[in-house]
């Protein structure tokens, strides 16, 4: 549009002051609405009982009143970077390119930890301390570019040198500026080598007809157990929907659960109370009991101590 | 406006390229802001601790970045269609016509259950499995038209055949398309007869000077007991504000509570600790203790087993 | 802009009907987007499990579909005006001038309590019962003007005389009208003397090298203890970052906790498990244990019974 506007402007210099005034209105007010604002999505371990999240959103509203601000979750258990990293991965790919995620879990600024913005190959942005929070989105969406937030430039004006609320004074501020287009990614700070702090985690693989994986998180509310084995990898086992799967779950090498379960397209394909293998929200293999709590019933938890093995149970 | 624009366009064909360019800008950019976007309101039993709700909102943001997305509640107890149906009724009529509600509680897709969109006579839309969730909004707001969601057309592109997250891949997607005006109601799928799956429930009535009703839900946080008797029906008892009401609550026919209480305009009209009859958020008769927990104190619960009788206690 | 538009309008009267039509489009559609809508921020003790908050937001959406509506928190403990007053103060100053806050905790309308709108000197608006909720924002942001809501004019049309849900039918309605610019502050109701109902609270002071203060709230989630002593006042003690502070906490005059702690810029400046003095989100002095729960460990609570003393521990 800028070319058209330029032409109009030049032409109208030769016209009446009336139309110039008219155009001025057009130029001043229209572009404000054309600005491409990406959504801003906030995650933290603050809970929703006090004013912390609202203070972050206030800072965002100061940057731009028309910004669409959303919550990923604020119920990350305190300091639990592992869960923060997994929740980001669970949500991010469903948002449009240009979405800016701010995740504030265990920032530890002042301890020498870096504050960064990651741009992924998918076009999403993540504003967060580089403390492991980026582990899974970096793996899933690819690192396009990593920049360190320049602390001297990017704080809320007037925020104290004593401020310990970096979620508000730094991360929300930078995130809102990026999402609203008030700041370019290049202005965040200097470019870093594309290497983030990674949480230790077992990657999945298939060998000799057996898929090996781990349990990143539980779907706590429903008691489902999620593995890190994607459907694509699971597909190498040649198990079709409706066929039986042999499932073994171990903790530190000791078998805790061993059973044959049906690979199902929906929960209702097995009787109420029966276990099933299904594809979860992320396109990864998961285990459940139809209308029951699989994790609780069988004493399964999430974390690096746990491993899963699956193979075809067809004879 | 379209006629005016057409006239302008015709006229300007005879004018300078400058003004044509100007008009082009106008035509391209303005209509984007004129699009009538209704709010999108989400309800589920997912809770707010994981990324499920955020994934639904991401899908909505992909459909339209300017959509106003709100939460009704995500704390419906798991699989509790009764409560989902009641919460929808509690909120819907306060939203403007054109609002699109998405309710995802116990979808059971794959089990043969229908996914539908209900348009009510009030102009509200409800995107949900037809599993009873629509019972009370259909009764309250009237069925204008019911359509079955065509599963082949309306999923998120690329969502797996194994997907079990219909809330995200189907309902949120359809809801956002309707709310943003990207899809007309007629495009949802084929028209159905105006009959929904209804939850069994007792309808209220007045006979011989006694109002009979049931207890659909408790206002848990404050311990208030809500009946399904509307003020209009209650009015037939001829009880004015400030006058005593004889209240009897039974479970399976056994009287659990019997007392005379004042019909009050506000809680402060009775002493702290006293019971009162009042009109709740929905214009229906409810019972409370001023600054107390009526339900807990008297052991009252909600559900089809419970019934209520009220009559004038004036002599 | 209005002047420019007027000139354009006058000039175009002498021009072709074509351009007049064009301008009409401009005048009708553009201003709709230029309207300055402040954010609307809601607080209550309703919780998020039922439809109460959603009903309030529906009323706001009826007033204006483009309004940005946010939550401060809905988890204020029931009837707890003290906490409502503190949460407002914790959030308000981080929002832009023009933001409209609606706080509905213990309205008690009908009891003779006034419903008011406070405009602070900072340009923020607070719609709430005048029951003490305004205590701390009035102190912090200054009273610019106070108006009583005219109940006869400002209810949702059609809301019953029996309505007890003033949060929805009155406060949300007035708040949305103010935030959207549909109502001027002057239209709320008659101007009152600039005196609000104040909750009893101890104000802080420094004398003889000792800072005295109280404990307004705990940061429950992290177990931090917040005092009402601002950094500015604390500064009079001449304690620099990294230096030791002598801290004494009493309940009704009895010393409960006494210890020397480091005044720290960030939690990581002290070993895990050690106590520290820091500046909280509000620029006020607070006490914490690095990665621990200070309040629980030492049995500290919030409220008017509690007092704090601090002085330099440097020799």
By CA distance, what is A11's nearest residue in B?
B18
Q: Is the pTM of this model over 0.95?
A: no
**Distance to chain C for B28, nearest Cα, Å:** 13
Q: Which of A215-219, A266-270, B61-65 has the highest mean pLDDT?
A: B61-65
Alpha-carbon distance C15 to nearest alpha carbon in chain B (angstroms): 13
Residue C10, classified by CB atoms within 10 Å of its CB into exposed (0-12), middle (13-18) or buried (19+), is: exposed
* CA distances from residue C32 to C2, C67, C184, C294 in whole angstroms, order as listed: 14, 12, 17, 52
Measured between alpha carbons, how far is residue A90 from residues A7, A130, A238, B56 in Å?
A: 47, 19, 26, 11
Distance CA C180, CA C67 (A): 6
User: Does residue C288 contact residue C267 with C-beta atoms inside 8 Å?
Assistant: yes
Cross-chain Cβ contact C95/A62 below 8 Å = yes
Look at B70 and C49 and tell me if their CB atoms are within 8 Å: no
Helix axes C2-13, C17-34, angle to 10 degrees: 170
Q: Provide the CA C295 distance to its chain's centre, in angstroms.
A: 24
DSSP element (H, E) containing A155: none
Whether residue C5 is predicted with pLDDT greater than 60 in this model: the reply is no
User: Is A117:A185 a contact under the CB 8 Å cutoff?
Assistant: yes
Phi, psi of B32, deg, nearest 5: -60, -30
pLDDT value for A285: 95
What is the torsional sign of CA C147, C152, C156, C161? positive
Residue C181, CA distances (Å) to A38, A43, C115, C178, C187 in order: 26, 31, 20, 5, 11
- How many angstroms separate the Cα of A27 from the Cα of each of A18, A31, C3? 14, 6, 16
Residue A307: its pLDDT value, please? 92
Q: How confident is the model at residue A237 (pLDDT cuts 50, 70, 90)?
A: very high
Q: Note whether B197 and B131 are within 8 A (CB).
A: yes
Count other C-beta atoms under 10 Å from residue B227's C-beta: 27
Instruction: Look at residue A22 and tell me whether its pLDDT is greater than 50.
Output: no
Tell me what the mean pLDDT of segment A60-79 comes to: 94
A25–C1 CB contact, under 8 Å: yes
Q: Please report, for residues B59, B228, B289, C24, C225, the alpha-carbon distance to residue B188 in angstroms, rounded to integers and kept in the order given.
A: 17, 33, 47, 36, 54
ipTM of the prediction: 0.81
Check residue C162 and give its pLDDT: 59
Please give the span between the terminal C-alpha atoms of chain C, in angstroms, as a whole number: 65
Q: Do A61 and C71 touch (CB under 8 A)?
A: no
Is residue C144 pLDDT above 90, yes or no?
yes
d(CA A82, CA A134): 10
pLDDT band at C33 (very low <50, low <70, confident <90, very high): very low
Q: How confident is the model at residue C6 (pLDDT cuts 50, 70, 90)?
A: low
Cβ neighbour number for residue A76 with a 10 Å cutoff? 28
Out of A88-102, B63-77, B135-149, C9-23, least confident range: C9-23
In this prediction, residue C14 carries a pLDDT of 46
| Residue-level pLDDT at B140 | 92
Residues of B in contact with A7 (CB under 8 A): 17-18, 21
C-beta atoms of B4 and C24 within 8 A: yes
Helix H segments across chain B?
Answer: 2-13, 17-34, 52-63, 81-92, 135-141, 151-154, 166, 173-179, 231-234, 294-298
Q: Give the 3-state secondary structure of residue C189.
A: coil
How close is the nearest chain A Cα to the Cα of B306, in Å?
A: 26
Structure tokens at B272: 């702290």
Instruction: Identify whether the C-beta of residue B226 lies closer than 8 Å to the C-beta of residue B219.
Output: yes
CA dist., res. C164 & res. B281, Å (int) = 7
CA distance linking residue C55 with residue B255, whole number of Å? 34
**Is residue B18 a contact partner of residue A12, using CB atoms and an 8 Å limit?**
yes
Query: Which residues in chain C have their CB less than 8 angstroms from residue B70's CB?
Result: 54, 57, 61, 69
To the nearest whole Å, the CA of B223 is away from the closest chain A CA by 21
Residues of B in contact with A179 (CB under 8 A): none
Subunits that touch chain A (at least 3 Cβ pairs < 8 angstroms)? B, C
Q: How many CA atoms lie within 13 A of A269 on its CB side?
A: 17
Q: Do C279 and A79 touch (CB under 8 A)?
A: no
What are the structure tokens assigned to B187, written together? 């495009």
Residue C283: the pLDDT is 86
Are A8 and B28 a contacting pair at CB < 8 A?
A: no
Q: Name the minimum distance, in Å, from the CA of C264 to any CA of chain B.
A: 32
Query: What pLDDT does residue A157 have?
Result: 64
Average pLDDT, chain A: 86
Tell me the C-alpha distance between C89 and C73, whole Å.
13
Average pLDDT, stretch C219-238? 92
Is 50 exceeded by the pLDDT of residue A204? yes
Q: How confident is the model at residue A160 (pLDDT cuts 50, 70, 90)?
A: low
Instruction: Kindly report, residue by residue over A41-67, the tens digit of the pLDDT.
Output: 999 999 999 999 999 999 999 999 999
Of B17, B50, B65, the CB nearest to A219: B50
Tokens 């244990």, located at residue:
C289
Percent of chain A that is helix, strand, coil (3-state, to 5): 30, 30, 40
Mutate to test the interface with B, among C54, C109, C131, C172 (most CBs of B within 10 A): C54
Instruction: Read off the DSSP letter of residue B242.
Output: T
Residue C111 — very low, low, confident or very high, per pLDDT cuts 50/70/90?
Answer: low
Which residues, in sequence order, are CB contacts of C103 under 8 Å at separation 6+?
C42, C43, C44, C72, C84, C88, C126, C127, C128, C133, C171
Summarised one tens digit per residue, pLDDT across range C236-251 is 999 999 999 999 999 9
Which of A47-61, A298-312, C156-170 is predicted least confidently?
A: C156-170
pLDDT at B148: 96
pLDDT digits (tens, 9 = 90+) for C297-315: 999 999 878 999 999 998 6
Q: What is the mean pLDDT of residues C53-72?
A: 96
Phi then psi for residue B209, to 5 deg, are 75, 10
* Alpha carbon of residue B18 to chain centroid: 51
Which pLDDT belongs to residue B89? 94
Asked if A239 contacts A303 with a C-beta cutoff of 8 angstroms, the reply is no
Do A50 and C7 lie within an 8 Å CB cutoff? no
Residue A185 CA, distance from chain mean position: 18
C-beta separation of B199 from B132 below 8 A: yes
Residue B25: what pLDDT? Answer: 42
Which residues in chain B land under pLDDT 70? 1-36, 108-112, 157-164, 315
Specify the 3-state DSSP secondary structure of A174.
Answer: helix
- Whether the pLDDT of residue A246 is over 90: the answer is yes
Q: How far apart are CA A109 and CA A130, in angstroms?
A: 10
Specify the pLDDT at position B305. Answer: 85
Question: What distance, in Å, lies between the first and last C-alpha atoms of chain B?
Answer: 65
Closest partner residue to B162 among A11, A221, A265, by Cβ?
A265
Q: Residue A112: CB partners within 8 Å, gap ≥ 6?
A: none
Q: C-alpha dihedral over C43, C49, C50, C52, to 10 degrees?
A: 0
């Amino acid at each position: 549009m800028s070319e058209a506007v330029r032409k109009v402007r030049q032409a109208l210099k030769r016209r009446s002051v009336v139309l110039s005034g008219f155009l001025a209105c057009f130029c001043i007010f229209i572009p404000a609405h054309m600005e491409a604002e990406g959504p801003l999505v906030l995650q933290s371990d603050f809970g929703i009982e006090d004013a912390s999240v609202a203070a972050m959103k206030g800072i965002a509203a100061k940057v731009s009143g028309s910004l669409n601000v959303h919550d990923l979750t604020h119920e990350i258990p305190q300091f639990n970077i592992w869960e923060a990293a997994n929740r980001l991965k669970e949500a991010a790919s469903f948002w449009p390119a240009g979405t800016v995620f701010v995740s504030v879990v265990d920032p530890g600024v002042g301890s020498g930890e870096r504050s960064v913005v990651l741009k992924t190959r998918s076009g999403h942005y993540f504003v967060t301390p580089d403390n492991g929070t980026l582990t899974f989105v970096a793996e899933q969406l690819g690192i396009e570019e990593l920049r360190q937030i320049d602390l001297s430039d990017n704080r809320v004006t007037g925020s104290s040198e004593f401020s310990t609320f970096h979620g508000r004074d730094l991360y929300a501020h930078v995130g809102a500026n990026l999402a609203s287009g008030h700041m370019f990614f290049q202005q965040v700070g200097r470019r870093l080598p594309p290497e983030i702090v990674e949480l230790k985690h077992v990657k999945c693989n298939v060998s000799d007809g057996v898929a090996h994986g781990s349990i990143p998180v539980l779907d706590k509310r429903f008691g489902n157990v999620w593995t890190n084995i994607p459907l694509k990898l699971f597909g190498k086992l040649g198990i079709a929907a409706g066929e039986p799967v042999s499932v073994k779950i171990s903790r530190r090498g000791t078998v805790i659960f061993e059973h044959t379960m049906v690979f199902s397209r929906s929960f209702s394909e097995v009787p109420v109370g029966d276990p099933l293998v299904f594809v979860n929200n992320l396109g990864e293999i998961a285990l459940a009991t139809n209308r029951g709590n699989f994790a609780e019933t069988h004493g399964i938890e999430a974390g690096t101590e746990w491993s899963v093995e699956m193979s075809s149970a067809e004879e």
